[in-house]
Copies of this chain bind each other. A is one copy, B any other.
């Protein structure tokens, strides 16, 4: 399914920056840092980029990963839909080359603690990627 169709299916108007974002993020399975996204899409205003990312996240087309320094990384959602935005994956950052990738988890993780009710879990791991070790 092409990007335009995907947008329409999620009640989003087909615009240049939306196609550009989906195109950029679709070129790799890695998560892209915000700064790189902004550089690639420099022809657009950064406010527009900001709001477009919000819109695409809200519709579950993309998701954001936060690294320890607070840097944001964005990636396409392959396992999300409008109804259930669920991530059965963790975000892994290679401390050597710096790439961030989504890694599928074998099964849904369940944590529990007395008294509390857990809705969602985010996992961020660091180490060496397959190219760097």
Interface residues of A (CB under 8 A from B): 64, 66, 68, 70, 72, 90, 92, 94-95, 103, 105, 111, 113-130, 133
Contact = CB atoms under 8 A, between A and B. Distances in A.
A72 B66 CA distance: 12
Given A92-B113, A122-B123, 4 more contacts: A66-B66, A66-B70, A118-B127, A119-B126
A130 B111 contact: no
Contact of A95 (B113, B119, B125): B119
A70 B130 CA distance: 28
A118 B92 contact: yes
Chain A residues touching B, majority SS: strand
Contacts of A111: 90, 105, 123, 125
A95 to B, nearest CB: 7
Given A103-B113, A111-B105, A124 B126 contact: no
Contacts of A115: 129-130, 133
Contacts of A72: 70
A34 to B, nearest CB: 11
A97 B103 CA distance: 31
